[in-house]
Every structure is written in C-alpha cells, then in structure tokens.
C-alpha cells in the first residue's frame, strides 16, 4: 500500500436481517478523533492491506508490531513514575519510596519557575514554588535531588524544555562530582520546544535559537553521553491541550521530522543522532484508537526516516514513553480514575510502549499522595505480572478492526503532513498559529460534547454523586520553600564570584557566535551559576518568544 493511500471505508457484508433485529444505541459511532466505526469489520475493510509491507514482523520494517523481536517476553516496559514536588529533599524521598516499591526508572517533574528558567526567588516566580514539580535553582539542588540514588544504574527522564540544556548540564555535573563518568549515564531530557509553542507554553527563547540549543544537546550527547536520549518529541502535551489522537500523532511526528532536518542542517549524520531520538505520547480512553495510534506512529516514522533521509534500520525505530491522560482525570469520584488509568495503561502496553507512567487517582485535586502513587505503580505491576498481556507481541495485530483503524490513523496523519507542508512547514505553522487553532477547535468540540452529554464522563455529567472527598490528599511541607531559599542564598554567598562571572561572560560571547553552547553551560553550572543566571544570559542574547494572538 502506498504511504499516501487511504483505507477504504467498506460496509459490512454480513446478513442484513441479522443486523437489523436490534435497534442501535445511536445513529452512528466514531472514535475520539471522529473516525467512523462500523458495526463489524471483515476482510473487505482491509482489502488494500499488505501484511508484508504494512504489518511485517516485530523488529522488521515498518515496525508496526514493535521494534524488538521479543517484545515484553524479553524485557518488560520501564515503570517510570513522573514525580517531583516541593524541595529537592522531598522529591528525593519520593524517588526512594517509589524505587523501594518496584519502580524501574525515574522521571522528574519540575515546578513552573524551573520550567521557565527562573530561580525560585525571582519576583515572577512568587507563589509557584514546588507546586507542579520540584524546584531546581542550582547544582546544589540537583545534588540533593539524586543523593543516594545510583544514577549510573538507573535511567532518569526529565520533563524540561526551554531550559533543558541547563538542567541537563546540572545533572551531568552532579554525576561528575560523584565520580561517575557522564558517558555511563542513561536517560532522557524532553527538550522539545516546538510543542511548547503550541501546547504547554513553557518556552523561553524564539524558535531559531531554541532549536540551536536542541541541536547543541544532540551533538554534545552523540559525542560525550552516548546512552542519553537528548530529545523526547512529545505528543502528550499536545493531547493535554485538547488535540485529538490523530492531531497528536500528526503534529508530534511532524515536529520530529523537523528536528531531524535541523540536525542535518548542522552537518550531523542522521545515523549518528537519530538512534537517540525518543517520543512521548498520551494514552486516553478510546482503547482501540490509542493502540492504533501507537502502531501507526511506528509505521509512519519508519517510512519517513527511510524515504526522506535514507536512515539506517536502527534510526527508523520509534521508541516511546507513554503517560496516561491527565486531562481525563476527574476531581469528582476520584476513585474512578483508577479504572481510567488502568484502561489507558493497558492500551499503551498493547501498543508496545517502552516505558510508562500511570497517573494517580488524586491528580485532579493535588499532587499525588504516597497511597495514590503506590496504587498507580501497582496498576502497572498487576498488568505486567497477572494479566498475561505481556506474553505475546502485538496481540491485536491482524484484527480486521485494528488494521483498518491503524491505516486510517496513518492516512489522516498524512493529510495533516500535506497541510503543514502547504503552509510552509512546522516553524511557519507555529508562527501563524495553525497548530494552536487546530488544537483549540478540537478542545472546544470535545467540551461541547461533554456539555451536551454526547460524551459521557462518569461522575461529571452522568452518574453524579454528591459526596465528600474521602481519599488522602498530599500536604506540602511549609518549611520546604524556606529551606530551598536558604540553600540558594548560601550558594550565592559561598561560590567563587569571579569564576561565575567569567563563565557567564564566556557563555554570552559563545551565544553571539556559532559554537556549541553545552560546554559553556556546563562550565557555568559547575561554578554554581544558577538556573536564572544562565538562562538570563541567553535571554539577553536571544530575546524571548511572544506567542501569536489568535481570534
């Protein structure tokens, strides 16, 4: 089947008399992305489907069924719980708690001042300390954050974008201080600025210098930190902003292709850096569509990397982390969120995710409590060890419905690729607000469906129960902000001020030129220049991004 060929929508061939005996619940059925769902699927629905070229075998092009030939029979997915709150001390304790309960990878959530490149005592950061993640203002915080954790034995993912290069430099420097070679470190920085402009909005600099920094990390990682994924191209935040599954798929892969082109424009060889590209998707409630999305993502990426860039087989792999849908959680009847998370996690696993975060039942109300996060982790463990779904690869592969839906997801994503190209490419679509408007339209359509009860959300617009919240809610340590600020002030007093000034000046001069900025950022954070100081230097050179106004 051609990459651009659409799957035909075919009416079922079964007996009409059998179908017409019972009245259906509604006039038509569709997936969350609006793809029509037939009453039953037959071989006629996949008449153009070529099992060899469209499905293949695990670890074989186009990788629809997975990138590894043993699937979870060889190794289970990494259970990586997204965690962080308050000060470095509190978050370090949470990481150790999760590891003691069987977590197999770390994932760091940062607070919004950190995501925005500000120190905690910046006036713009007032009132935001530790609320949506951990506060990291200097190398001293990073040292405490991972104290007592063998960072060379476990992989660490960090959801950080605008200041990703600086936070990564702190992680590398902290490991160096412990005598751990940075070449031995494995993990991921999200470092995906394109989706920040259209979804999460934790950007700092305009697109061109931001992409320069991303390519700097890609180049530096290839040479010095070969086990590190220097970018995790994220559809998760696009989906959380209101996108459909098709939009998440299309916009994420389009961003990924733009990053590959940026690396090539720098002069990097595709097979030197592409194997360390990773992806990050959401898993929402439409069970079959989510599985089809993951399968289509692998197939599209392999085909595009091969046809556009002539990449080797290893560079064609799409490896991805999944997080269950935060925006699907409800504050009402929060225990119901355990069920939602379980279904979403199962879809991610049946879609072949490499790692997984399962949301806690209380996250629509607060940061997760110890009890809630343990239940979320246990959800993964029960699926892994009690359900049997990890015993075979791509268990829905060959299903008439699954193959038809996977092909339809691919076809609709490619329609978006054509629109993006016609509009001048990814950067131009960011600047003109195309992505933002498409996402906003989808979010509005979904909310209308909820308001009109066309889309049922249990406990919100149906099966409502007026009852008090009975689950435990995490309470922040009121002393943690003072502890953090005292450390920040002590670092500023005790460091070598002359060295800090020299390192920041060298960074400023390099930013005006074309050198890779990672060595200069590393030198600055080793001297205990703060996050706000390092990002402030680059703000002075690059300026700040201003979002387009949409009507």
Structure tokens at 265: 């424009």
**What's the Cα-to-Cα distance from 181 to each of 146, 185, 224, rounded to whole Å?**
16, 7, 10
pTM score of the predicted model: 0.95
Q: How far apart are CA 507 and CA 7, in angstroms?
A: 53
Question: 75-451: which CATH topology?
Answer: TIM Barrel (3.20.20)
Predicted confidence at residue 371, as pLDDT, reads: 96
Q: Please tell me what DSSP assigns to residue 163.
A: T
What percent of the chain shows pLDDT beyond 90? 93
Q: What is the arithmetic mean of pLDDT over 407-432? A: 97
Say if residues 210 and 162 touch (Cβ distance below 8 Å).
yes
Does residue 140 carry a pLDDT above 50? yes
The residue ranking higher by pLDDT, 31 or 23, is: 31
Percent of all residues in the chain with a pLDDT value above 70, rounded to a whole number = 96
Interatomic CA distance for residues 124 and 424, integer angstroms:
35
- What pLDDT sits at residue 17? 53
| Lowest pLDDT segment from 53-67, 231-245, 438-452, 473-487 | 473-487
DSSP 448-477: HHHHTTSS--BTTTBS-------S------
Q: Are strands 320-324 and 277-283 parallel, antiparallel or unpaired?
A: parallel
Residues 443-457 have a mean pLDDT of 97
Q: Which residue has the tokens 């109300």?
A: 365
CB 243 within 8 A of CB 251: yes
**For residue 2, what pLDDT band results from cuts at 50, 70 and 90?**
very low
C-alpha 546/C-alpha 163 separation (Å) is: 17
Q: How far is CA 386 from CA 235, 381, 516, in A?
A: 30, 8, 49
Whether 12 has a pLDDT exceeding 90, the answer reads: no
pLDDT value, residue 19: 55
In sequence order, what E strands does 54-144 have?
Answer: 78-83, 105-109
Examine the pLDDT at 237 and tell me if it is beyond 70: yes
Domain positions in the chain are 75-451, 482-542
Query: Among candidates 293, 303, 353, which has minimal Cα distance to 323?
Result: 353
8 A C-beta contact, residue 281 and residue 341 = no
Report whether pLDDT(5) > 90. no
Judged by average pLDDT, the poorest of 8-22, 91-105, 529-543 is: 8-22
Inform me whether the pLDDT recorded for 236 exceeds 60. Answer: yes
Dihedral over Cα of 360, 362, 366, 368: its sign? negative
- Model pLDDT, residue 478: 84
Q: What is the C-alpha to C-alpha distance for residues 452 and 468, in angstroms, rounded to an integer?
A: 26
How many Å apart are CA 242 and CA 443, to the nearest integer?
A: 4
- Structural tokens at position 383: 């699926």
43-61 pLDDT, tens digit each: 999 999 999 999 999 999 9
Residue bearing tokens 């299309």? 250
- Cβ distance 81 to 98 under 8 Å? yes
Residue with tokens 């950190």: 114
Which pLDDT band, with edges at 50, 70 and 90, does 400 fall under?
very high
- Residue ranges of alpha helices (H) inside 62-206 are 71-74, 88-100, 112-115, 139-145, 164-177, 193-195
Task: State the chain's mean pLDDT as an integer.
Answer: 95
Q: Name the 3-class secondary structure at 328.
A: helix
> Residue 549's pLDDT is what?
81
Distance of CA 500 to the CA centre of its chain: 34
């Amino acid at each position: 089947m051609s990459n651009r060929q659409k799957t035909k929508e075919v009416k079922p061939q079964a007996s009409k008399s059998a179908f017409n005996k019972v009245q259906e619940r509604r006039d038509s059925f569709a997936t969350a992305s609006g793809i029509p769902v037939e009453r039953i699927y037959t071989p006629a629905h996949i008449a153009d489907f070529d099992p060899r070229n469209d499905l293949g075998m695990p670890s074989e092009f186009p990788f629809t069924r997975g990138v590894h030939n043993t699937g979870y029979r060889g190794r289970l997915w990494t259970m990586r719980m997204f965690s962080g709150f308050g000060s470095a001390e509190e978050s370090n304790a949470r990481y150790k708690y999760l590891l003691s309960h069987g977590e197999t990878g770390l994932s760091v959530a940062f607070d919004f001042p950190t995501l925005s490149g500000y120190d905690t005592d910046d006036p713009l950061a007032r009132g935001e300390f530790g609320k949506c993640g951990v506060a990291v203002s200097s190398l001293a915080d990073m040292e405490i954050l991972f104290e007592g954790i063998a960072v060379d034995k476990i992989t660490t993912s960090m959801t950080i974008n605008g200041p990703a290069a600086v936070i990564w430099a702190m992680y590398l420097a902290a490991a160096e201080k412990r005598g751990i070679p940075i070449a031995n470190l494995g993990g991921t920085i999200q470092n995906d600025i394109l989706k920040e402009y259209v979804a999460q909005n934790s950007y700092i600099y305009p697109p061109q210098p931001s992409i320069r920094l991303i390519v700097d990390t890609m180049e530096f990682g290839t040479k010095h930190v070969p086990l590190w994924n220097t970018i995790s191209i994220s559809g998760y935040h696009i989906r959380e902003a209101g996108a459909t599954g098709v939009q998440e798929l299309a916009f994420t892969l389009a961003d990924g292709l733009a990053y590959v082109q940026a690396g090539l424009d720098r002069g990097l060889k595709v097979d030197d850096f592409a194997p360390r590209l990773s992806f990050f998707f959401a898993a929402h409630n439409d069970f079959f569509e989510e599985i089809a999305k993951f399968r289509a993502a692998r197939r599209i990426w392999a085909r595009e990397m091969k046809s556009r860039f002539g990449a080797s087989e290893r560079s064609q792999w799409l490896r991805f982390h999944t997080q269950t849908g935060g925006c699907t959680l409800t504050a009402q009847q929060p225990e119901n969120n355990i069920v939602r998370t379980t279904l979403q996690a199962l879809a991610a696993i049946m879609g072949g995710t490499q790692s997984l975060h399962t949301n806690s039942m209380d996250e629509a109300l607060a940061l997760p409590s110890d009890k809630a996060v343990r239940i979320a982790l246990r959800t993964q463990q029960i699926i892994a060890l009690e359900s049997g779904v990890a015993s075979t690869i791509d268990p829905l592969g060959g299903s008439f419905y699954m193959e038809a839906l996977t092909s339809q997801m691919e076809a609709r994503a490619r329609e978006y690729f054509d629109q993006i190209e016609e509009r001048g490419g990814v950067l131009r679509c960011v600047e003109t607000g195309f992505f933002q408007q498409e996402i906003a339209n989808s979010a509005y359509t979904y909310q209308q469906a909820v308001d009109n009860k066309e889309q049922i959300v249990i406990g919100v617009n149906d099966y409502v129960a007026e009852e008090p919240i009975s689950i435990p809610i995490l309470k922040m340590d009121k002393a943690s902000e003072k502890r953090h600020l005292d450390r920040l002030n002590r670092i500023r007093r005790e460091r070598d001020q002359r060295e800090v000034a020299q390192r920041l000046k060298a960074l400023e001069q390099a930013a005006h030129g074309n050198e890779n900025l990672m060595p200069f950022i590393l030198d600055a954070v080793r001297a205990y220049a703060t996050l706000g100081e390092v990002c402030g230097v680059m703000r002075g050179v690059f300026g700040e991004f201003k979002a387009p106004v949409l009507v």
